Amino acid sequence: MNKLEQKRKMMIQSGIENGLQNPKTLRLSRQLDKLMNQYDQNENIDEKTNFLN
């Protein structure tokens, strides 16, 4: 969760400094999306495991 928050802050800062369509901002956005998807997958696995136990 901490990685998500750090990446989000970096993306916002890049958007402010460089613009929303800047390659750095877009790269950070893709990285944040990837982290959020990984987090979501892990949460779903945890929920299924808890349900089955």
Give the N- to C-terminal CA distance of the chain in Å, as an integer. 25
pLDDT digits (tens, 9 = 90+) for 7-52: 999 999 999 999 999 999 999 999 999 999 999 988 877 665 665 5
Contact status, residue 39 vs residue 4, Cβ threshold 8 Å = yes
Give the whole-angstrom CA distance, residue 52 versus residue 5.
31
Tell me which amino acid residue 23 is.
P
Q: What is the pLDDT of residue 34?
A: 96
In this prediction the pTM is: 0.79
What pLDDT sits at residue 15?
Answer: 98
Please report which helix (H) or strand (E) contains residue 34, including its range.
helix 23-52
pLDDT at residue number 51: 53
Using CA atoms, how far residue 52 sits from 20, 38, 39, 44, 46, in Å, is 43, 21, 20, 12, 10
